Amino acid sequence: MLFDIRQETLPREDLEALQLRRLRDLCGRIHANVPFYRKRFEEAGISPASINSLADLRLLPFTEKQDLRDYYPFGLFAVPRDHIVRLHASSGTTGKAVVVGYTARDLDHWAEVMARSMAAAGVNHADVVHVAYGYGLFTGGLGAHYGAERVGATVVPASGGATRRQAHLLRDFGATVLCATPSYALHLWEAARETGVDFATLPLRVGIFGAEPWSEGMRRDIEEKMGITAINIYGLSEIMGPGVASECAEARQGMHLWEDHFLPEIIDPVTGEQLPPGEVGELVLTTLTKEGIPLLRYRTRDLTSLDYTPCRCGRTHVRIGRIQGRSDDMLIIRGVNVFPQQIEGILMESEGLSPNYQIIVDRVDNLDTLEVHVEMDENLFADEIRKLQMLEKRLQKNIKEFLGVTARVRLAEPRSIERSEGKARRIVDKRPRD
């Protein structure tokens, strides 16, 4: 289902013409209103007038998370503070928070792209949308909330936490759509079972999951357990929040990135050079319409690729592949690069394992060590010790074979790994910082 047929199916040439117009307008605005960008333009020896085609994008300077931190809190805003009607912030695990400000028009655009994402997932006005993303400075809750309202659905602003109570709400209000991080969705499913709520009897049919990395294996597990269609949604606070890109229920082959608002590039994270469609690299995004804190060539650190081939749903907007990892989540274990999702992918191929896992990295006698703790389901847990030991060995062998690193795998009892109400903590890195 399309929310805005005209915009979502804009022929490529028209879309590109619109992008160029908006890119030039953006350059003019930030050059005039943000001293940081004016200086960057001067350093690069360019002016807004240098941009005559989309290919000229590569002349423009990148923006990095550190820039937002350096200008904390409002230094990169392009409008006076009293034009800002909402602030959000992402804490991150290290360093200062990153603060973003929205004008009324920005909020309107955000609701619009979220509504498109919801509609693409198959949500409509008849749905009851249970939002279990956190409400607050995190963009998940309010982002999903206004998008669902825009499509005319009934919204339940549950936020994170009080998980058993949420299971009752799901049942009592007859939720048909669940918005949550995939790990919290599973937690909710477990809590529901414990409190006697059987998902099989609920009218729930769609899950809109994102905000953290997850694998196809985890999608299958969620779909089987919950009896729903699981949709992948992507976004980040710096650019807007959830709704930058989202899958269509028709194809579920990549997430349509709403190109009339966000201009994507994939670059080689080391050289900064643009890579051709299909190649995996770092996603770089330029906000084409944002007024509060427009960003030029923002380096997301997220690794993915672009697919411009036509999608069977009829939307013309480019698709990004499942996020393969963040360049800052990459573990280097004795020189070998490993992403948590790769390990998750291997674990999820085995029956009897739940997608609750944690990767523990340490350093012993100057050597990095890797341990993977993964929970068993109840059936597997009831199995003979000898069989469990064999499974541990097999998983270790697969990790070695496919990823080239030696890991120790430990099967953990059901429900022994900490649950999170938002983004799951997958990596525990105990190595001393040097």
**Can you tell me the distance from the alpha carbon of 353 to that of 377, in angstroms, rounded to the nearest whole number?**
6
234 binds ligand DLL (CB under 6 A): yes
How many positions of this chain bind ligand DLL (CB under 6 A)? 21
Tell me which residue of 297, 305, 289, 247 sits closest to 19, measured CA to CA: 289
Nearer of residues 118 and 323 to ligand DLL, judged by Cβ:
323
Kindly tell me which residue out of 232, 316, 354, 356 binds ligand DLL, with binding defined by CB under 6 A: 232
147 binds ligand DLL (CB under 6 A): no
- The crossing angle, in degrees rounded to 10, of helices 340-347 and 385-403 is 140
242 binds ligand DLL (CB under 6 A): yes
Stretch of 55-63, 131-139, 311-319, 394-402 lying at the interface with ligand DLL (CB under 6 A): 131-139
Nearer of residues 20 and 284 to ligand DLL, judged by Cβ:
284
Q: Residue with CB nearest ligand DLL?
A: 210
Nearer of residues 48 and 264 to ligand DLL, judged by Cβ:
264
Torsion of CA 72, 421, 249, 155, to 10 degrees: -90
Kindly tell me which residue out of 103, 117, 139, 215 binds ligand DLL, with binding defined by CB under 6 A: 139
262 binds ligand DLL (CB under 6 A): no
**Can you tell me the distance from the alpha carbon of 326 to that of 319, in angstroms, rounded to the nearest whole number?**
18
Backbone angles phi, psi at 217, to 5 degrees: -60, -40
Kindly tell me which residue out of 48, 101, 122, 140 binds ligand DLL, with binding defined by CB under 6 A: 140
Nearer of residues 27 and 226 to ligand DLL, judged by Cβ:
226
134 binds ligand DLL (CB under 6 A): no
Please report, for residues 29, 58, 73, 106, the alpha-carbon distance to residue 34 in angstroms, rounded to integers and kept in the order given. 8, 20, 14, 17
Tell me which residue of 329, 282, 273 sits closest to 304, measured CA to CA: 282
Query: DSSP string spanning 289-314?
Result: S-SSS--SSEEEEEEE-EE-SPPTT-
326 binds ligand DLL (CB under 6 A): yes
The most distant pair of C-alpha atoms in the chain lies apart, rounded to whole Å, by 71
Least distance to ligand DLL from the beta carbon of 356, Å? Answer: 17
292 binds ligand DLL (CB under 6 A): no
Q: For residues 347 and 356, is the Cβ–Cβ distance under 8 A? A: no
Least distance to ligand DLL from the beta carbon of 364, Å? Answer: 30
101 binds ligand DLL (CB under 6 A): no
64 binds ligand DLL (CB under 6 A): no
210 binds ligand DLL (CB under 6 A): yes
Least distance to ligand DLL from the beta carbon of 370, Å? Answer: 22
Least distance to ligand DLL from the beta carbon of 221, Å? Answer: 16
302 binds ligand DLL (CB under 6 A): yes
* Helix extents (H) in 34-135: 35-44, 65-70, 104-120
Task: Return the bridge partners of 255, or none.
Answer: 247, 320
**Can you tell me the distance from the alpha carbon of 218 to that of 342, in angstroms, rounded to the nearest whole number?**
12
Least distance to ligand DLL from the beta carbon of 239, Å? Answer: 8
Structure token pair of residue 427: 């990596």
Structure token pair of residue 141: 């809750």
19 binds ligand DLL (CB under 6 A): no
236 binds ligand DLL (CB under 6 A): yes
90 binds ligand DLL (CB under 6 A): yes
Count CA atoms closer than 13 A to 164's CA, side-chain side: 4
Stretch of 165-173, 206-214, 368-376, 387-395 lying at the interface with ligand DLL (CB under 6 A): 206-214
Nearer of residues 210 and 355 to ligand DLL, judged by Cβ:
210
Q: For residues 399 and 343, is the Cβ–Cβ distance under 8 A? A: yes
Helix (H, G, I), strand (E, B) or coil at 235: strand
Footprint of ligand DLL (CB under 6 A):
90, 133, 138-140, 210-213, 232-237, 241-242, 300, 302, 323, 326
